[in-house]
Every structure is written in C-alpha cells, then in structure tokens.
Amino acid sequence: MSVRIYRKPEVHSPVLIACWPGIGNIGVIAVDTLRGTVKAEEFGEIEPWEFFYPSKVVIRNGVLKDLVFPASKFYYAKTDETDLIFFIGEEQPTEAGRTYAEGEKAYRMANLVLDVAIEYGCRRVYTSGAAVAPIHHTTRPKVWVVPNSENLVSELKTYRNTVLMSDIEGRRGQGSITGLNGLLLGVAKKRGLEAVCVMGEIPIYLQGFPFPYPQASRSVLEVMTSALHIETEMEGIDEMVAKSETEINRLYEHFPSEMREQLDRLKYVAHDEPAEPGPITEEDKQKILDDIDKFFKKEPRED
Amino acid sequence: MTEKQPYKVFGQPEFESSTLVVGWSEDAAKLGSKVTDYLNRELGGQEFAEIEPDDFFPLGGVSVENDIAQFPEGKFYHCPGKDLVLFRSHPPRSDWYRFLNSVLDVAEYYCHVKEIYTVGGMVYLGTHTFPRELMALSNSPEMTAVLSQYDLAREIDYESPPGQRPTLNSFLLWAAQRRQLAAASLWVPIPFYLVGAEDPQAWGKVLEFLDERLDLGIDLDAIDEEAARQDKRITILRYNSPEIDSYINKLESGQGLTQDESESLVKAVEEFLRRQY
C-alpha cells in the first residue's frame, strides 16, 4: 500500500485542503468547487485496494477488463497568494457496517495524506464537513470552525459567519468530529501541523437525507476562499443551491403540517448566541428536536 | 510473524538508572497533565518516544475540548542532566494491559527505570480552604520504605466497591510489580467543585514531593502564585454570590450539601473560573 506520485508539483509552503464525503456532502462539494476554480491538476493518488471494496467491475466479452475502486487523489494549484494541495477521497475507508472511517485503516490513510503534504513543505491543513444544527433550511448556514491548536483561535475569530464550539449554546466548547475529516486534525496535531476543520451547518431534519446540501457548502467555500485570499466565482455552486432549495421545498411540503409548524419555529432559533428571551424558549427548542428525532429516528452529530 | 511494536523510540537518552513519572491527561483538576507539563517546562523535557495510538484508541474522529480538536497521545520525555523520564498520556480506551506493558518496556529497556511514580487526583467532599494532603500507595515493601521518609498519608485500606473498576494507576502498579519494578501512586484529594476545573494547590503538593524525592531543584513559585490567584478568584465569587458562599461555609463547618446545592456549587465555580482564565 502506497502513494503514487505521477509528477512532482512545484509548490512552495502549500496549504493542504483535504476532504472525504460526509453528511450532505458539504465538505466535498465545497472543496471540489474550489479545486475546479483554481484549476488544480492531479498529481498523485493513494492506491486504493487495501482500503476499499471495489465500486465497479468492467467485463467485456466474458473477460474481466477492469475493477474500479473509490479514488483518493491529490491535486495541486498555484494561486497569487498561496500554493494549494488538494486531497479528495471518494469514500472513507470504513470497517464493516460503519459509515465513517475508524481504527487502523483510517489512521493509516490520514498519515499517508499528511506524508505527501509534509513532503512538499505544507504547514497548514484544512478539512471540511457538516455540522448538524437546529436551524431552518431557509436560514444562511453558519460555519463551525475547530482548530487543532490554541494558537489558531484568534485568527479563526476574524473569519466571517463562523462560530467556535464555545459559541454554540449549551456546548461549552465541547464536541466531536466523526470520521477522517476530524481524525486528520488530530493526526496533523500529532505531526506538528496546524489544522482547521470548517463545517457547514445542515438542518437537523435534513441530516439523514441522501442528497447534498450545497447551501452549507457555499458558506464553507466563502470561509475558505476568504481565509486563503482566493477570489472565486459562485455561479456554479449557486445553481446547485437553487436546485437544492427547490427539491427541499418540494419535500418540505410533504411533511405533516403539524411538523412543518414545529420546524418553522427553527427560523427563530439562535443556537450560537447566549439564550435570550425570544419567540422560542429552550423548552420549545428541545421539544422540536425531540419530535424531529422521533420522526427521523436520528441522533444529532457532526461529521 | 512478529507482532507490531506499539511504541516508537526516536531519541537515545542515556541513563544508568532513572525514575519515571506518569501523568494522565484526563485527570481530576488536570493534575496528571499539569504536573508533567510543569516538570517538562522547568527541566527542558525533550520528547524521545511515544506509544502509537492506533491499537489503543478508536480513532473514529476527534473530540473537541475548549474549542480545540484533541488527539490521543502517549509521549515520553527525558530531562537533560536529570535521571528523570516523564510519560504524559491520554488513558487508553482498550487493550490496557498491552498499553501499560509498552510503557514499562520503554521505561525498563530504554531508560533503566528503577522507580515509578503515577500521579492522580481523587474526589474530596471538603473545601478548597483546607490544605491539600498527599497520599501514596506502593507496590512493594522497598517502595514503602522509601515513602516512609516523607510526610505522606500511607495508611490506606481500600477495596474498590462492586461495579467500580480499579484506576489505571493501580493497574500500572500491578503490572510494574510483576516485573519487580518499584512503583508508587501519588494521590491528592481534590475538592469536588474543582475536579472539572483546576487545582494549583494540588499540583504544588505533588511537585513539592517529586522535587524533594528526586532532587530536581525546580522553582515552585509560579505554582504558589497560581494557587494564590485561584484562592482570590474563589473569594471574589463568594463575595459576589452569597448563595455560593453559604455552600462553602456549610462545607467548612463540616455539614454536607444536598445534591442540588452541590451541583450549583460545581457549576458556579467552574463557570466563574473558566471566565477568569
């Protein structure tokens, strides 16, 4: 098992932006959009066969021609301000029956990604995922930012439309980030790299749905491009957002009216600010969340 | 096929014999990590080995504490000019025996450790205004003889109650005993409302003992100042909140608190101290 580098990228102190699929594909859509914007070129991959089960077989005339595995590829790009290395995994290397990477395979993959980043002089890593939050789908998703070092906190506080864990009501700075988008932060910390996970908010009632949530990807993209001083066109992602909004609104109409009324109250939940008397009480909010949980039989989580 | 070694040694400190101090990063009032961090800072500790996390932690992501992503680590440090090895680690989540034996392998084979001290905090139902006490348990008569030279509470009789598992420190003492390695665990009772916060007085108590026992020559002024600052902060809280003051008064006079009172005290102290740091 190894990394294959097809050609050596000419980069100077690049920033690594790494991502694997998760809830709403929020991180992957944001990172892949950014990759397209800066026209990043592929330069290597992690050989997949020891990590993944094949995703496709090609047989021609009764002969097996190809077996396709989920890709885990590296790209690079140079921008005016920063050189970038991207890593995008099509799947997380999971153990049987699990949704997210865990254990030895996950740890090995995280280290392989960082091996490449370190080889080319990287000192900063971004990962991205979803933050399941009690918000309504018509509100602009905020971005939760989690650094792997105290030294990064003051910088992160300057990012617009972001919150730290301690800004989230009731969390007292605590939480967890499941899967490789989180694990990479930890492994980066172990190897002396600073890293930040940027997570776009997805409404709690949409977390289990098998479609993307580009609204949150857009918020993530805004934060990343601002942090990296990159100008990006938003037209492509705006089209995805418009399409997603239409689909969600259509779905929303099918919710029972009583439930819709409850969910509409999430428009007034300011979960990232200290509790203040408002149109919705803590008790109301809990009831909404309990009802949603019962309806979808899901637990809130981040990825 | 040989089993993968769960530790990595990347430095070659030379010891004829040494002492190992073990601190866990999830401990009451952060006692274990604060003690090892302080020693590291004061004595210029240098990392030279680590336990690899993948065999002992789930690694399904990261936890976030105080806004910062955490990652399990178990690292060894040596302190130049001192026969001292520090091990600071998250407590393993599985395969404890193998983990502890890996710690002892590094200690014994690479550092020629002859004496081991573990550090731990325990919950105490009294107040912060009483002086902290240092308690010690040993794993051998030889170690008991060593400890008898110091002002420590040692006459401890205890059996873990049904359903409550022994601490990792006890497990380590036992594993060391099987190798004929002398070990002691040092315990400081921490006032219950400081368990989730910090207790510089407790840190000072352990450091004072280690300084004396191992002749480290460390400066403890910073710890004393931190302890004084914290006392002052709690005094301000008591002054601002008659309710909290009454709870601490009750404890000082030997009365117990109801569960609601205890919870209010813990919440108020932790939140107040967090805002102050």
Q: What percent of chain B has pLDDT over 70?
A: 98
Alpha-carbon span B54 to A102, nearest angstrom: 10
Residue B96 has pLDDT above 50, yes or no: yes
CA distances (Å), origin B192, targets A261, B127, B197: 44, 8, 10
Alpha-carbon span A116 to A3, nearest angstrom: 8
Among the residue ranges A148-157, B60-69, B256-265, the one predicted with the least confidence is B60-69
Bin A62: left if φ > 0, else alpha if -120 < ψ < 50, else beta: left
Pick the CATH number of A3-296 from 3.90.105.10, 2.40.50.140, 3.40.50.10900, 3.40.50.170: 3.40.50.10900
Residue B39 has pLDDT above 50, yes or no: yes
Closest to A203 in 3D by CA, of A169, A248, A158: A248
Residues in chain A with pLDDT values less than 50: 274-279, 298-300
DSSP 3-state assignment of A126?
strand
In terms of average pLDDT, the best of A289-293, B72-76, B139-143 is B72-76
| pLDDT of amino acid A241 | 94
Residue B51 in contact with residue B102, Cβ under 8 Å?
yes
Structure-token match 């030895």, residue found: A104
Kindly determine whether residue B53 and residue A107, on different chains, have CB atoms separated by under 8 Å. yes
How far out from the chain centre does Cα B65 lie?
A: 19
Map out the domains of chain B with their CATH numbers. Answer: 7-224 (3.40.50.10900), 227-276 (no CATH)
Nearest C-alpha in A relative to B94 = A103
Alpha-carbon span A288 to A285, nearest angstrom: 5
Q: Is A153 on the interface with B (CB under 8 A)?
A: yes
Annotate B236-270 with DSSP letters as a single string. Answer: HHHHH-HHHHHHHHHHHTT----HHHHHHHHHHHH
What percent of chain B is helix, strand and coil (3-state, nearest 5)?
45, 20, 35
Exposure on the CB side of residue A240, measured as CA atoms within 13 A? 17
Name the residue with higher pLDDT: B233 or A64.
B233
In degrees rounded to 5, what are phi and psi of residue B272?
A: -65, -45
Q: What ipTM did this prediction achieve?
A: 0.72
| pLDDT of amino acid A27 | 95
Kindly determine whether residue A149 and residue B68, on different chains, have CB atoms separated by under 8 Å. yes
Q: Is A149 on the interface with B (CB under 8 A)?
A: yes
Nearest C-alpha in B relative to A167 = B67
Kindly determine whether residue A178 and residue B64, on different chains, have CB atoms separated by under 8 Å. no
| pLDDT of amino acid B31 | 95
For the segment B58-65, the average pLDDT, to the nearest whole number, is 86
DSSP A116: H
Per the prediction, chain B carries an average pLDDT of: 91
CA distances (Å), origin A234, targets A18, A83, A139, B102: 20, 21, 18, 53
Alpha-carbon span A299 to B89, nearest angstrom: 31
| pLDDT of amino acid A302 | 53
Alpha helix positions (H), chain B: 31-43, 96-105, 111, 141-147, 168-177, 200-214, 221-240, 242-252, 259-276
Alpha-carbon span A192 to A177, nearest angstrom: 19
Return the number of CB contacts < 8 Å for A and B: 91
Among the residue ranges A107-116, B5-14, B106-115, the one predicted with the least confidence is B5-14
* All structural domains of chain A with their residue ranges: 3-296
| pLDDT of amino acid B1 | 45
Point out the residue among B54, B55, B64 whose CB comes nearest to the CB of A165: B64
For the segment B115-131, the average pLDDT, to the nearest whole number, is 92
Residue B30 has pLDDT above 50, yes or no: yes
CA distances (Å), origin B111, targets B7, B11, B12, B86, B189: 14, 11, 9, 11, 31
Point out the residue among A104, A173, A176 whose CB comes nearest to the CB of B54: A104
Name the residue with higher pLDDT: A291 or B152.
B152
For the segment B246-271, the average pLDDT, to the nearest whole number, is 92
Residue B75 has pLDDT above 60, yes or no: yes
For the segment B106-110, the average pLDDT, to the nearest whole number, is 95
Exposure on the CB side of residue A296, measured as CA atoms within 13 A? 18
> Which of A94, A144, A146 to substitute to test the interface with B, most B CBs within 10 Å?
A146
Kindly determine whether residue A183 and residue B60, on different chains, have CB atoms separated by under 8 Å. yes
| pLDDT of amino acid A296 | 59
